[in-house]
Amino acid sequence: MARARLTPRRMVIMLGTLLVVLIVLLLAACTIGSEHIPLADVARTVGAKLFGSQNEVSRENSIIILAIRLPRVLLAIVVGAALSSAGAAYQALLRNPLADPYILGVSTGAAVGAITATLVVGSSPLIRPAAGFSGALVTIAVVYALGEGRRGSISERLVLAGVIVNALLSSVVIFMVTAAAGTRQRSVLSWLIGDLGAEWTLIPFVAVLVGIGIAVIYANARSLNLMMTGEEEASALGVEVRRAKIAVYLAASLITGAAVAVSGVIGFVGLIIPHAVRLAGGSDNRLVIPASALAGGAFLLISDTVARTIIAPRELHIGVITAFIGAPFFIVLLRRTT
Amino acid sequence: MLEVRNLSFSYERPVLNDVSFSLGSGELLAVLGPNGSGKSTLLKLIAGIETPGAGVVSMEGRDVSSLSRREAARAIGYVAQESIVRFPLSVLEFVLQGRFAHGRLLGFESEEDERETIRALELTETVEFAERKITELSGGERQRVMIARAIASRPRLLVLDEPVANLDIAHQVKVFQLVKSLVADEAMTAVVVTHELNLAAEFASLAMLLKQGSLVAFASTAEVMHEDLLRSVFEAELHVDRNPITGAPRITPLIQSAPISARS
C-alpha cells in the first residue's frame, strides 16, 4: 500500500531528482545568451567561485557568467521557488486548486506596496520587500473577505474576487507608475508582467526571506494536509487551525511580497507548478511544498531563458511566457474542478 | 463519560439554550429535531471545535474546552456533515490523517500509525479501496472512509453529523450497523445526528429531541419515539406503532389525501 501514500523513499527520490535537474539547468542557462559560453567554462567559473580555486576561464567570459548571467539565473530560481510554494500554500489554505498569488490578486497587491514604498521612501531596497509583503497581506485579506460565502469560501467566487481585485490593483499600478514618470521607477510593463532583468543586489536578502517563508510553510505541512479537507474536520483531528492559518498566510504573503518586489508580477507559476507536482507525487504537502519550490525555480529559469533569447537581441517580459503556458492550464483545471 | 451542563450558544441569534444531559459509556444516542434546532451545533460543542457561550461540556471529567486540540482529538472522533475534498488524496492518506493527534508535527507516520489506520480501514470495510482517490468514491464509500478517519485515533466518543444524508437505504443501514458495531465491539460511545427517525429507532439506545435550541426530551429511544412528542416537535402528522418484525417503534408520516378535484 506504500504506493498510495508519501514515503520517505519517494520524497528523497523526487526532491533529489528535482535538485539535480535544477543544478543542470542552472549551469546550462549560464551558457545561453548573445555570447555562447561553453558549459565547461561555466562549471569551472562557478566551481572556482565556490571553492576559491584558480579560474582559467577568460576574464571576459567569467565576468559575463558571474556578473550578468548567474545573478539573473539565481533570481529566476528564487522568484520561481517563492511563487510556487506560495501557490501551493494558498491552494491548501483556501481548499481551492485554482488559487495562485497572481489569480488572487496578491502579486499585484504586493506590486502596489512595493511601488508605494519606492515613491514614498525612495529607492531604499530593503524597504521594498517589506512593503510588498504588506501589500500582499492586505490584498489576500480583502479577496478572502469578498470571496467567502455563507458556508466557507466557494471556489468560483474566490477566483472572481481575485480577478476583480487584480483588475483594480493593476490600474493602480499603471496610475502610480505613469504619474511618477521621470523618477527612477521601473516601467509599467516591468511591474505588471514581470522582469528579471534588474535588482541583482537584492538577491541574497530576498533569498533569505523566501527561505524563511518556505520553512514556515513546510513546518505546517501536515496541518495543511488536514486543512485541505476542511477546517472543522482538521480542528477535530487535532490541528490548531487558527495558529496554522495565521502562520501560513503570513509566510505565503511574505514570500510573494519579497519576490514581486524584485521581479514584478509574474503570473501562473504558483498555479502550474503545485499541480504538476501533485500529479507526479501525490497531494501530501510535506512533498508538495519543497518540490514546488525546486520545480518552480526550474520552471521560471527555463521561462526566463526563453524570454531573453527567443527574439534576441530584444527581450520578452517573462510574464508573457508564463501566461502563454499558464492561461490554457488554468482553463483545463477550471473545467476539471468545477 | 459525557456530561453537558447548562450549555448555551449563539451565532447571531441563539442556537442552543440551556441544554443539560449526561451520557454513560456504551450508549448510542440519536439526536433528533427539525432543521435549525441546534443539532449540528451541539455536536461541534461536544467535539470542542466550537466554544460554549455558557455552560460546560466535559468528557471523562475534563472540560473539553480546556483540552488542547490534540488531547481532544485523541478522545473524541468527529465526522462532519459533508466534506468536499477537491484534492486527489488517496483513501489511505486520508485515513492516516486521523493519526495526526498521535504523531509529531513534522516527519512521517510511525508503524503504529500505520497499524491503527489499517485497523480503521478494516473495521469500516474500506480496506479494499485504500489505494483509490477519495475524489473517486461513491457517497456510501466516502461516508465509511470518513468514519475510518475519525476512529483511526482510537477515540472513546464518536460524534457523527447526519452520516446517512444523501445515501440510499442500503447504505444508510450499513452506516448505522457500522456505528452500532463500533459501540458494541470497540467499547465506543456514539452521538449521531440524523433525520432518519426509523433508523434511529432501530439502532439507537437513547434518543434526544431538540426544538429551537432547547432540549425537549432525552430518554430511551422507545420513550422518546412517542407520537404526541414527535408530532409537537416536528409539527407534522405522524403515526407511531411497532415494527412487526423488530419490535422497534415505527414512525409513519400521515399524508392527507388530496381533494377529489385535484385527482385526474
Alpha-carbon distance B86 to A158, whole Å?
15
Residue A125 has pLDDT above 90, yes or no: no
Query: What pLDDT is attached to residue A74?
Result: 94
8 A C-beta contact, residue A253 and residue A106? yes
Over residues A300-308, mean pLDDT: 94
Helices (H), B48-138: 69-75, 91-96, 111-123
For B106, the grid coordinates are 513534522
Alpha-carbon distance B112 to B124, whole Å?
18
Alpha-carbon distance A12 to B247, whole Å?
60
Alpha-carbon distance B204 to B191, whole Å?
9
Alpha-carbon distance A330 to A336, whole Å?
10
Query: What pLDDT is attached to residue B83?
Result: 73
Residue of B72, B80, B105 lying closest to A230 (CB–CB):
B80
Query: What pLDDT is attached to residue A258?
Result: 93
Q: Is A201 exposed, middle or buried (CB count within 10 Å of its CB: 0-12, 13-18, 19+)?
A: exposed
Which residue matches cell numbers 501562473? A268
Residue B156's CB is within 10 A of a number of other CB atoms, namely 17
For A144, the grid coordinates are 478572502
Alpha-carbon distance B73 to B66, whole Å?
13
For B38, the grid coordinates are 441546534
Distance from CA of B164 to the nearest CA of A (A): 17
pLDDT band at A23 (very low <50, low <70, confident <90, very high): very high
Distance from CA of A7 to the nearest CA of B (A): 8
CB contact under 8 A, A5 and B90: yes
Nearest Cα neighbor of B122 from B212, B77, B186 is B186
Whether the CA torsion B81, A337, A10, A296 is positive or negative: it is: negative
Query: What pLDDT is attached to residue A154?
Result: 61
Among chain A, residues having any CB pair with chain B shorter than 8 Å are 1, 3-8, 95-97, 155, 219, 221-223, 225-226, 228-230, 232-233, 235-241, 278, 282-284, 286, 337
CA A320 to chain centre: 15
Q: Which of these ranges, A116-125, A129-138, B131-140, has the smallest mean pLDDT?
A: A116-125
Query: What pLDDT is attached to residue A4?
Result: 83
pLDDT band at A156 (very low <50, low <70, confident <90, very high): confident
8 A C-beta contact, residue B176 and residue B164? yes
Residue A308 has pLDDT above 80, yes or no: yes
8 A C-beta contact, residue A61 and residue A244? no
Distance from CA of A55 to the nearest CA of B (A): 42
8 A C-beta contact, residue A299 and residue A78? no
Over residues A171-183, mean pLDDT: 85
Q: Pick from A59-73, A199-213, B217-231 the range whose average pLDDT is largest.
A: B217-231
CB contact under 8 A, A233 and B93: no
Over residues A233-257, mean pLDDT: 94
Contacting residues of B for A247, CB less than 8 Å apart: none
Residue ranges of B 73-112 with Cβ closer than 8 A to chain A? 73-74, 76-78, 80, 83-94, 96-98, 100-101, 103, 105-106, 108
Contacting residues of A for B131, CB less than 8 Å apart: 1, 3-4
Over residues A276-298, mean pLDDT: 94
8 A C-beta contact, residue A89 and residue A215? no
To the nearest 10 degrees (0 to 180), the angle between helices A241-263 and A70-93 is: 150
Q: Which residues contact A297 (CB under 8 A, 6 or more apart)?
A: A22, A76, A77, A78, A80, A81, A84
Residue A327 has pLDDT above 80, yes or no: yes
8 A C-beta contact, residue B110 and residue B151? no
pLDDT higher at A68 or A216: A216
Question: Percent of chain A scored above 70 by pLDDT?
Answer: 94
pLDDT band at A94 (very low <50, low <70, confident <90, very high): confident
Q: Which of these ranges, A185-194, A301-310, B165-174, has the smallest mean pLDDT?
A: A185-194
- Among A237, A242, A278, the residue to mutate for chain B (most B Cβ within 10 A): A237
For A101, the grid coordinates are 498569488
For B203, the grid coordinates are 439502532
Question: Percent of chain B scored above 70 by pLDDT?
Answer: 97
Q: Do β-strands B249-253 and B238-242 pair in parallel, antiparallel, or remain unpaired? A: antiparallel
Query: What pLDDT is attached to residue A151?
Result: 56
Distance from CA of A236 to the nearest CA of B (A): 6
pTM for the full model? 0.90
Determine which helix (DSSP H) or strand (DSSP E) holds A229, and give its type and residue range.
none
Residue B218: φ, ψ to 5°: -150, 105
Contacting residues of B for A219, CB less than 8 Å apart: 105-106
Residue A153 has pLDDT above 60, yes or no: no
Q: What is the mean pLDDT of chain B?
A: 92
8 A C-beta contact, residue B44 and residue B50? yes
pLDDT band at B261 (very low <50, low <70, confident <90, very high): low
pLDDT higher at A327 or B34: B34
By C-alpha distance, the chain A residue nearest B70 is A238
Q: What is the three-class DSSP state of B242?
A: strand
Residue A185 has pLDDT above 70, yes or no: no
For A223, the grid coordinates are 496541518
CB contact under 8 A, B87 and A230: no
Q: What is the mean pLDDT of chain A?
A: 89
Query: What pLDDT is attached to residue B49?
Result: 92
Q: Give the type of residue at B25.
A: S
pLDDT band at A184 (very low <50, low <70, confident <90, very high): low
Alpha-carbon distance A184 to A198, whole Å?
13
Contacting residues of A for B101, CB less than 8 Å apart: 237-238
By C-alpha distance, the chain A residue nearest B87 is A283
Residue A32's CB is within 10 A of a number of other CB atoms, namely 17
Which residue matches cell numbers 490593483? A169
Residue B258 has pLDDT above 70, yes or no: no
8 A C-beta contact, residue B27 and residue B191? no
Residue A338 has pLDDT above 70, yes or no: no
Residue of A97, A155, A225 lying closest to B97 (CB–CB):
A225
Nearest Cα neighbor of A59 from A45, A40, A49, A38 is A45
Query: What pLDDT is attached to residue A183?
Result: 64
Residue B262 has pLDDT above 60, yes or no: no
Alpha-carbon distance B173 to A15, whole Å?
46
Query: What pLDDT is attached to residue B73?
Result: 95
Over residues A289-296, mean pLDDT: 98
**Global ipTM:** 0.90
Residue of A229, A236, A284 lying closest to B47 (CB–CB):
A236
- Among B87, B145, B146, B147, the residue to mutate for chain A (most A Cβ within 10 A): B87
What is the gyration radius of the CA atoms in chain B, in angstroms? 19
* B60-95 tens-digit pLDDT: 999 999 999 999 999 999 999 877 788 889 999 999
- Among B43, B85, B97, the residue to mutate for chain A (most A Cβ within 10 A): B97
Query: What pLDDT is attached to residue B260?
Result: 59
Over residues A184-199, mean pLDDT: 76
Residue of B70, B85, B131 lying closest to A1 (CB–CB):
B131
Which residues share a beta bridge with B31? B193, B208
Q: Is B171 exposed, middle or buried (CB count within 10 Å of its CB: 0-12, 13-18, 19+)?
A: middle
Residue of B87, B98, B105 lying closest to A222 (CB–CB):
B105
Alpha-carbon distance A10 to B106, whole Å?
17
Residue of A1, A238, A283 lying closest to B88 (CB–CB):
A283
CB contact under 8 A, A232 and B78: yes
Taking 3-state DSSP, the helix, strand and coil percentages for chain A, each rounded to the nearest 5, stand at 75, 0, 20
Residue A54 has pLDDT above 60, yes or no: yes
Residue B190 has pLDDT above 80, yes or no: yes
Contacting residues of A for B98, CB less than 8 Å apart: 237
Residue of A4, A6, A222 lying closest to B131 (CB–CB):
A4
Q: What is the three-class DSSP state of A265?
A: coil
By C-alpha distance, the chain A residue nearest B68 is A238
pLDDT band at B179 (very low <50, low <70, confident <90, very high): very high
The Cα angle at residue B163 between residues B61 and A2, in degrees rounded to 5 = 90
pLDDT band at A326 (very low <50, low <70, confident <90, very high): confident
CB contact under 8 A, B94 and A230: no
DSSP-assigned letters across all residues of A193-215: H---SS-GGGHHHHHHHHHHHHH
Residue of B76, B78, B89 lying closest to A283 (CB–CB):
B89
Alpha-carbon distance A145 to A161, whole Å?
9
Residue A251 has pLDDT above 90, yes or no: yes
By C-alpha distance, the chain B residue nearest A92 is B87
Nearest Cα neighbor of B18 from B67, B52, B44 is B52
